[in-house]
């Protein structure tokens, strides 16, 4: 029997051989840089954020390791939508895996123009993933995902323009992840990705000033896993569309926990810097767990940890 037996899944309109996705921003667009064997067990690859025009990204320091995570202030560095279509999309597609196009926009007009461009290569794109952690200029730069009205307007607009699968990657800082996930569902999203990096900061003690030019930076990696798991639990309890668990998954046990909490798939980011073989070891772990519990298909694993016997609530 194949190692991947039972792992095939359709997540929000995307058919994947396994439920393990490479998260946005951590995977080289150049296939010659992909570590040998690292695509084993990967079900889909997400692109770096795509903006309408090319972006140089943030100035100054961009990365800083913490005891249990990584702070990044890369910004939205990318070649823009046209370059994505001409260069990155063919490169990512050469993997044979569905490509998830992560898009970032500051106005609804930008959103429309990016989607119009992506519509020209609709067949090569598995899904659009809206990155709603990026700023909405009409709201003074507050992230789209932080405000119910902006979230609803942006997802509704994307839905009316894009005929393919539409996912929304929520900000973990949203006032209520359950409400945000419900808004995405009712506005036409087919899956929500929960979540993204958490805002943190670092100080340069020698210079007595913030380490990053933009002061705050996104924290990812092991430190955020319990926070992400809680968000996945909350989101999965409030919507009927699939939830993709993302944030701090650095090994197979964490991936399994995400499924038990209600995720239908997982996205791996920083963990891949530590070990590029996590997709493969995650698939092995999931298969083994399913076999032991006589679970025939991965879709039946999602949410199994929600039916617990202990009383919920306080002591």
Which residues participate in catalysis according to the annotation? 134
Task: Build a one-symbol-per-residue string for 270-299: x at contacts with ligand FMN by CB under 6 A, - elsewhere.
Answer: xx----------------------------
Report the run of H or E that residue 150 belongs to, with start and end.
helix 148-161
- Residue 24: CB atoms within 10 Å: 25
Q: Which of 45, 48, 126, 234 binds ligand FMN (CB under 6 A)?
A: 48
Task: Build a one-symbol-per-residue string for 86-115: x at contacts with ligand FMN by CB under 6 A, - elsewhere.
Answer: ----------------x-------------
Q: Cα–Cα distance between 162 and 127 in angstroms, integer?
A: 10
Q: Is 73 in the site for ligand FMN (CB under 6 A)?
A: no
Q: Are the C-beta atoms of residues 139 and 214 closer than 8 Å to each other?
A: no
Q: Is 255 in the site for ligand FMN (CB under 6 A)?
A: no
Q: How many helices (H) and strands (E) does the chain have?
A: 9, 18
Q: Are the C-beta atoms of residues 11 and 19 closer than 8 Å to each other?
A: yes
Fill in the DSSP letter of residue 270: T
Closest residue to ligand FMN, judged by C-beta, is 25
Residue closer to ligand FMN by CB (options 76, 298) is: 76
Structural tokens at position 18: 């396994």
Task: Build a one-symbol-per-residue string for 137-166: x at contacts with ligand FMN by CB under 6 A, - elsewhere.
Answer: ------------------------------
Q: Is 171 in the site for ligand FMN (CB under 6 A)?
A: no
- Count Cα neighbours of 164 within 13 Å in the Cβ-side half-sphere: 22
Q: Cα–Cα distance between 5 and 254 in angstroms, integer?
A: 21
List contacts with ligand FMN (CB under 6 A): 23-26, 48-49, 70, 72, 74, 102, 131, 169, 196-197, 220-221, 224, 246-249, 268-271
């Amino acid at each position: 029997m194949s190692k991947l037996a039972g792992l095939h899944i359709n997540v929000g309109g995307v058919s994947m051989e396994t439920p393990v996705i490479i998260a946005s921003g951590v995977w080289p667009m150049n296939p010659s840089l992909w570590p040998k064997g690292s695509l084993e067990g990967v079900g889909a690859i997400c692109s770096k954020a795509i903006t309408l025009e090319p972006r140089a990204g943030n100035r100054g320091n961009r990365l800083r390791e913490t005891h249990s995570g990584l702070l990044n202030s890369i910004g939205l560095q990318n070649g823009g939508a046209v370059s994505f279509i001409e260069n990155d999309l063919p490169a990512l597609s050469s993997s044979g895996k569905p490509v998830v196009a992560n898009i970032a926009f500051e106005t609804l007009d930008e959103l429309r123009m990016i989607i119009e461009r992506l519509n020209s290569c609709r067949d090569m794109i598995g899904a659009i993933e809206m990155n709603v952690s990026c700023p909405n200029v009409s709201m003074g730069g507050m992230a789209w995902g932080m405000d119910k009205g902006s979230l609803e307007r942006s997802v509704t607009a994307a839905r009316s323009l894009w005929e393919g699968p539409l996912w929304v990657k929520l900000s973990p800082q949203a006032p209520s992840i359950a409400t945000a996930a419900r808004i995405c569902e009712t506005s036409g999203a087919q899956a929500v990705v929960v979540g993204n990096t958490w805002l943190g900061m670092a100080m340069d003690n020698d210079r007595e000033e913030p380490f990053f030019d933009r002061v705050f930076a996104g924290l990812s990696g092991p430190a955020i896993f319990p926070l992400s798991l809680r968000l996945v639990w909350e989101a999965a309890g409030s919507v009927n569309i699939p939830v993709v668990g993302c944030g701090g998954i650095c090994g197979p046990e964490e991936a399994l926990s995400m499924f038990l909490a209600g995720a239908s798939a997982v996205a791996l980011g920083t963990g891949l810097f530590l070990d590029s073989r996590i997709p493969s070891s995650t698939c092995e772990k999931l298969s083994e767990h399913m076999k032991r519990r006589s679970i025939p298909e991965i879709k039946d694993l999602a949410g199994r940890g929600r039916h617990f016997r202990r009383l919920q609530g306080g002591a």
